Structures are given as C-alpha cells and as structure tokens.
Amino acid sequence: MTSTVLTPAFASKPAGNTTAEPEKPIIPIDISMCQGRNKGRAAHIINTVAQNSELGKELLEGIARNGYRIMMFGADGWGGCVSAETKMLSLNCMCSDEELMQVISHEARHIQQFENGIESDCNRYDFRGAVMSHRAKEADAQATSCAVCYDLMRKGIDGPMKAFEKDDPLIVKGFMDACKDPKGPVTDKMLQGAFEGWYKNEEMVVRYENGYLRDGGLNYCWEERNHPETFYVKPVSSKEIVETICRNASGKCYWADNPKVLEQPEKQAVSESTRKKCQQTFAIRKNMYNLEEDKTYQTLPLREELKAQKKKPANTNAAIPANVAAQLIAARRGR
Ligand SMILES: [Zn+2]
C-alpha cells in the first residue's frame, strides 16, 4: 500500500532559475538523485528557504535527520510528493523555483508529522480517524508552508507567497485575514485561518477524499499476507490528532483553544460514494476474515445532506430533516 502524499501542482509552469551558479545545499540533504541543472535548482530552493525562514530551516533539517532524499521529476498535475516507505521527497521540476519553495515546505512538514507520531498511512485508524487525520495532515501542511512563504515575504522574497496565493487563494486569505501586524511573527490565529482555508476548497477536499480515502485505502487488496486486521482499527480523537500535528514554531498546538475542531460536521462530511465504499469494504473484511465491521463511518455526515440542511429556511419549527431534503432534491433532479 502506498503512503505517498501528493500535493496538487500549480497552474502556471514558468521555467525555473536558469542563471544561478550551481549551489550546494547548506543543509545536508541528499540531492544526488537530482539530474543535471535540477541539482543546482534543488540546492537553491533549499538554501533560500533555510536562509530566510527559521521554520523552513527546521523543516528542511527534518528531511535530513529522517534520512529522506530529494529527487526532481517532470509530471503533470502534481507539485510534489513524499513517501514514508521509500523515504523519497519528490518535486515536480515543471514548477518554478518559487513554487517549489512552498511545495518542499509542505512535503517536509509531512515528514515532521510522521516524526511526531501520526500514522503516515492514515488507514490504520478507524475510518472516522482516517478522515480526520488525512484532512488535518493536508490542511496543516498547507498552513505551515504558508507560514514559510510569509517568512520569505518579510525578507523581501514575495514570489513564493504570490505563487501560492494564485494556486490556493483561500488558504492565503485565511492566513492573511488573521494577520494583525504584517511585520509581526506568525500567530496561532494565522495558522488556524490557513488551516480553515484548506477545508473551504471543496474541490480539493473531494479530490483527496476520492484519491486517498475512497479509491486508496478502502480499495486496498485485502489479502491475509497484508494483515488486513491492522487496518481501520485504531480509534483516534480530534484532540490527539491536532496535538500531534498542528504545532506552531514553539512546538505548541495551535488548536489548543479548540481541540475538537476536527469534529465539526463540515470537516467530517463525506460523499455518498465514499459511504457506499465503506459498506462494501467492511462487508468484505467481515466475510473473508471475520473482522469486526468498523462502524465509525456511519457517524460521518453526507456532504450533500449538510448542504441541503444549510439551505433550509431558518426559524421554522417544522424543519425538513436533512435526509428528506436530500431526497427531494434528488427527486427534482429526476435521479
Ligand atoms: Zn500533502
């Protein structure tokens, strides 16, 4: 089973840094797998981040400390990925250096999350825990990489933040809206704002849900040799997840004032196809291996029902139940 974590690519694909002399990374990260001019680019990206952001430097040191190597590849649709199995952090060389300064910080944050104890393969948690932890990992990696871009911006390097804003405006907006002093340090509220921004991009949330939770973990080939009994078994709470991964520069949880944030219905909602896949998968596991059904998925609201609920008129004593509303909407669509 793959534990690769992909980051969507940026829309623009300008050429990278073409003029700089090849640099050597000031942090001992193995970039020997980068070919040709990509070696110099990787070093330049590493050095710019490390020299201009304390947080970025710490994240990059984590890459080296945990024995990950960096390679650059050309691909379409993804900015970067990291695999805990192969200990490889890959960057898409089609992106610009400025874009990759954000991407490398995002992927390095995943390595730190693993180091702090989150399952790199979220599907070892029960399904509710898988949904909460997988989304929180991505939201936190984006919030943290936004903080690195902010540090660079305060040093006069505003390209990475501009590129990030173009690609993911809701995250940067959430972060900057909470910024009281543009010259001041990153605050917990800014990190919270960026974190919330990730969930506001429904297309992104659905893409990750389909790719990793529905078609990834639940589609796993259930064979005895792969130890199916180790999947979907560990209960985990919102508090445990945010305390493990959502840490500010001082190592404190930036959700300390709201540790149950991941229990909000909007953050747990799944689509109907994901719920159906859960039913199928847990039936297969029960029939083949007599594994107790993980019923936590039944507690997760359906995205469409939540939306219908929000649309219903306020202050009515006879509110239409969400499931009825969803059925009505479906009927109107002629489904
Ligand atoms: Zn990611």
Q: What is the pLDDT of residues 27-38, one digit of tens each?
A: 999 999 999 999
Q: What is the pLDDT of residues 2-32, one digit of tens each?
A: 344 455 544 444 444 555 567 899 999 999 9
Pair (26, 112) in one structural domain: yes
Q: What is the pLDDT of residues 257-291, one digit of tens each?
A: 999 999 999 999 999 999 999 999 999 889 989 99
Instruction: Please give the structure tokens belonging to residue 189.
Output: 């509220």
Number of domains in the chain: 2
Pair (223, 318) in one structural domain: no
Residue 281 lies in a domain: no
Pair (180, 324) in one structural domain: no
Pair (176, 308) in one structural domain: no
Closest C-alpha to 165, from 10, 332, 329, 326: 10
Pair (90, 109) in one structural domain: yes
pLDDT at 121: 80
- Residue 94 Cα to ligand 1 midpoint, Å, equals 18
Q: Is the pLDDT of residue 87 over 90?
A: yes
Pair (253, 307) in one structural domain: no
Residue 132 lies in a domain: yes
- Residue 285 Cα to ligand 1 midpoint, Å, equals 29
**How far out from the chain centre does Cα 153 lie?**
23
- Residue 92 Cα to ligand 1 midpoint, Å, equals 14
Higher pLDDT, 225 or 42: 42
Residue 275 lies in a domain: no
Pair (325, 295) in one structural domain: no
pLDDT at 130: 96
Residue 270 lies in a domain: no
- Residue 161 Cα to ligand 1 midpoint, Å, equals 17
pLDDT confidence tier of residue 235, bands split at 50, 70 and 90:
very high
Sign of the alpha-carbon dihedral angle for 62, 64, 69, 71: positive
Residue 252 lies in a domain: yes
Instruction: Quote the percentage of the chain above a pLDDT of 70.
Output: 86
**pTM for the model:** 0.86
Residue 61 lies in a domain: yes
Residue 45: half-sphere exposure toward Cβ, Cα within 13 Å = 32
- Residue 244 Cα to ligand 1 midpoint, Å, equals 16
Higher pLDDT, 250 or 224: 250
pLDDT confidence tier of residue 76, bands split at 50, 70 and 90:
confident
Note residues around ion ligand 1 (Cβ under 5 angstroms).
5, 7, 138, 141
Average pLDDT of every residue of the chain: 88
Pair (74, 174) in one structural domain: yes
Surface-to-core class of residue 194, CB atoms within 10 Å of its CB (0-12 exposed, 13-18 middle, 19+ buried): buried
Pair (235, 295) in one structural domain: yes
Pair (92, 183) in one structural domain: yes
Instruction: Please give the structure tokens belonging to residue 168.
Output: 């993911």
Instruction: Please give the structure tokens belonging to residue 293.
Output: 């059904």
Residue 68 lies in a domain: yes
- Residue 7 Cα to ligand 1 midpoint, Å, equals 5
What whole-number distance in Å separates Cα of residue 81 and Cα of residue 297?
A: 27
Provide the b/e sequence for 7-22 (b: ≥16 CB within 10 Å): bbbbeeeeebbeeeee
Q: Is the pLDDT of residue 330 over 60?
A: no
Instruction: Quote the percentage of the chain above a pLDDT of 90.
Output: 73
pLDDT at 4: 47
Range of the domain at 312: 303-332
pLDDT at 325: 52
Pair (113, 164) in one structural domain: yes
- Residue 319 Cα to ligand 1 midpoint, Å, equals 39
List, in order, residues 6 or more apart from 154 with CB less than 8 Å away: 182, 183
Pair (242, 321) in one structural domain: no
- Residue 226 Cα to ligand 1 midpoint, Å, equals 25
pLDDT confidence tier of residue 320, bands split at 50, 70 and 90:
low
**How crowded is residue 332: how many other Cβ atoms within 10 Å of its Cβ?**
8
Residue 181 lies in a domain: yes
Higher pLDDT, 323 or 283: 283
